Each structure stands twice: as structure tokens, then as C-alpha cells.
Structure 1
């Protein structure tokens, strides 16, 4: 039996519950690709699943969905950059050796040397302009920010956007995408990250360690809370008429109350689960190919250092994305420049 290395979560808990194991190497079935993982990420979703540190009200639901005493899928991780290793029967549009980006979604399994994916969805060509490390971090923050800004809030040119938690993966993606949409961005972060967020396109920066955000008189069309640090009542005075509060992280009760909050004030409170669509992946990749969108890498760890990667994520001090180096990047990956 052919095997591969994989980081396995054998019970819920701290970084110490992650063990590097030899597991069976998967084989692609009809319509599937086998991808050799070059890089993957450890993100906040991986941390929450591994630790069960979830917003209030979600603990039991998470156990029911993921596994009561341990994750049913022990290999976490959703983002992949890598190389097509093998094609299943009937696969078209990909060749062995193609450099690709894939999103495993809730199927996870990316924290391993190989991952099987359906060739029909959530696998695209890697832009030549991105390194494999950058490509692995393209989608978690990017797809989340794109879903909230474009699909839900419908941010328009000239609107004012306030991004809370601006130096994380979602916040940095939001700044870059809002810049592309023509919005004026104010970033909320610590003073040490001010230069970073300005370099990504933020026009203004609020240092939350020195200034009370809720005491400001300026108003915004859209407030994007990436970290779950504000309630509607505290930021209501900051929203213009027709303003939208986007809550990426909220309690279960917050999900329900969002349906009704703000209506009397002419506001909308928007929360819920984001989407992972292939066409949105292609959009992000096209922007990256044009030099308009680029993930920021906070740090990189080898697969055997995944516990340290988790520790960095849980510090809540990372800037952008934490990546894992799983296997060596090919010197000359096959790429035709077309974003499939």
C-alpha cells in the first residue's frame, strides 16, 4: 500500500493533538485529480475545528457536523497549491504536471502530501505571477471577502468601507478587493500593522490600541468586522443611511438577530456562511495575474512544524496567512497562463 504523510487531529484540543502520521495515499477515481500538495495553509477555520473554540451557541452544532469526540475527517486544511500528479478516467482540461490551486472546502484533507479533488469544481490553474506559497493563500481570505463585499453588500465605487481586523487574511483581501471596486478604505488594526494595511490600499488607519472606534463621528457605507469584535448597537452611529454591517464572525443568536437588526434605522446587518465558487476563484486568480491582488504571507512552516503554525494562528497576531511547506515546489511547473 502506498502511503503519504498527513497531519491528523485525533481529538479536539490544543496544537498538541495534531500528530504527523503515515496514511494511505489516495487514488483518483473517474473525474478526479490527484494533486501533490506543495503548499497549504493553517487558517482560523482549521483552528476553530481543531480546538472547538467556536462562537457562542455553535459548540453542539459543530460536534454534530464534524464529529462528537473528534473530527470525522482527521486531516484538516482547505487550501492547496500544488501539481497534478495523476488523472482519473475521463478528466479533461488538465494534464499531469499542471500547477493548480484547489479549495477542498468542508471536505478538508489539505494538510497532507496528496489530495484528491473533483476536476469539475474548485480546481483552477495557478497564475504564474504567484509563488506556490502565495497561491495556497489565495482563496480563504479572498473568497470570504469577495462574498461579503461583492455578493452581499454590493460595494460600489466611491463608498466608504471600514475594515475591522484589517491585517488578517480576510482583512487584507478585503482592502485589496475594495480598492479594485473603487471604495475608500479605512483600516482598523494595531499601530504596528499600519504600514502594511496602507501598502495594501487603505486610505486611512485607526489604531484600536489608541483610539475608541465607537467614539468617532465619521460615518461609513459599509463596516466589515472580520474578527467579531463589535455589535450592531455599538457601531450603529457609524453607519450612514442605507449602511451595511458585515459580521463574518458572530454567535448563533447573532445570526438570527441579524435578520431584523437595523431595519428601523435604514441599515442592514449581514452574516452567514460564505461561498466557495470556482468562478470566484478564477476571478481572484485573474486579478492576481494582473497584479491587482496578492496574498500576504505572515510565516511559513514545514508540515512537521504544523503545531507551531497553529500556535501562530491562535496568537491572533498574524499578518495575512500562515502557510505550510509540504513538498518541494517544481522548478518549471507546467502552466499555459490561462486561468481554467
Structure 2
């Protein structure tokens, strides 16, 4: 609190003091008028100056005494958005200030207690999600293996049974990818604990991710092509997750278009050591009014709602993972012609993150 604000808060007291001092001087003047020579004019001036001097001394002493408390309040106000902002105010002077300090401490303790309970609940919930995902991955894997065995043993001519088995296998793959997305969502809060940065061949990681989608690509007449090679510093598991999201989205929004479609991957080394990966599909594209929001959580967009398969979390997680790895992810699109997602691996990557 500045001295000006301090004086404004005590303006009523100052005016009252000056009024009483002025009233006393007025009484002296009237008394001197009644009995001339009783009080000299110099004495009245001295009394007035002395009263003002006492007022200034009192205000200065009071301000110095409470200045530390006001500074604490000012600093706490500036850090109001921080968790420990209220803990700064810990020293009151007057009884009223001590009550304020006690109130803030009680409120801060209650807040921290509630926050710790919430964190504990989140940890338990994340633990349950991780356990459930790992539990569900086993039966899904068994279903996939059984469908592979069924397809191997089906005799020629049983096209209906083969189509049904392939459909079940495809749904099992979708369940597997959904479980992986949930698993990575739960792990995002502990990102730093699940990170292993090393120099890896981007083209090999990309080729592995494309091969995991080859069944869908063949089924929907999508022909992937990888151009270029480069080595990047990143976490292989997390960047594979990002690539799976981009490839899965490209297939999802390309399969409804008739005929054959291309899925182009272009790896380029830029000046300064950066590496870019462009993922270009020939799908239905993204509408202009949806494009700025595709990386927002739970945003599905008009095309996503029409397809009925979008959760609105895939691109959000991909963007979030890229940001934490020190990479960038952007998108461009022409409705009806396709979309281009550009993944940029900056020099130094995660090593230059703040």
C-alpha cells in the first residue's frame, strides 16, 4: 500500500482531528475576544502547528508500524493465482489484521487439504484406468489371434464367414487403438516419468506405424507412400502414438470416398537442422470454420459428427504430446480434397524446452 492510499483510508480520522483542532482554536479566539489579552495570538498559532505536527507524527508512526503487513498483502495479491499466495500474509500488527491472517491461514489449509484429496482421487482413478486397460488388452488380443486362426482355417468359398471374421478382427483393432488412446491419456499426467529421448530413424518409425494400418489401407483402397529419410531426437513410443493418430484420422476420413486414394508421407530436412514430416491424405478434408479448433479437447467438428467415429481426443493428444516433446504440429486443409498435417522436429527438441 502506498502512502497516498494509506492517507485516503484514514481521511475520516484526519478530517475529524482537524475539525476538533480548529474548533478548539475557535474557542480560544472567542475567549480572547471576550477577555482581550488573555491568550496571545502567537500562542494560538503555536497550538495549531503543534496539533498538526502531532497528527503527522502519529500517521507516520502508524504507517511505519503497518508497512510490512501492507507489503505482504500487496505481494499476496500479485500472486493470487498461485497456490501458496495466501501463505505470504503471516504477520499482523493490529488485532483486526491478526484475525485476517488467521482467516487466510485457515482458508489456505482447507484449500490445500481439498487439493490433496482431489489429487489422491485422480491418482486412484488413473491407477484404475491403467489396470482396466491392461486387463482389457488381453481378451482383445485373444480375439484377434482367434480371428487370425479362423481366417487361416476357413476353406475357399466361405466368403460370408471370412467377411464376418475380418469384420470382427477390424473391430478388435479399433478396440485396441481405443485402449491405447486411453492408456496414453492416463499417462500424460506422468509424462516426464515415461520418457526416453534418443536419436531414431523417423522413416523406420513411420514405416512401422503404416504397416500396423495396412489391413485398413487395403480394405479401403488407400495407398500409402513414404518419401525421404531422416533421423530425429524424440521418444519412439510417444511419437509412434502421434503417427498412429494422424494415420488413423487419414484413413477414417478417406475411406468414405470412392475409388483409390493416396496417403503421402514426405520427410524433409530443413535448414538449421529441423526435420518436417508432412502427412497428406485425399479424404473429405476439414471445413474452414472447424480447422482452428481441431486440436481442442473433445472437439469433433462437423465431419467428425457425421462419421460417428470421432471422440475429439486424438488430435488433442497428438498436439499435447508434440508440445511436451518440443515438436510442433500444424494442419491445413481443402474441403473435399484432403488435409495436410505437418509435424516439425526442431533442432535440440526437448533439450531446449523450458
TM class by shorter chain equals under 0.3
TM-score (norm 1): 0.21
Higher relative contact order, structure no. (Cα contacts within 8 Å, ≥ 6 residues apart): 1
Greater per-residue strand proportion: 1
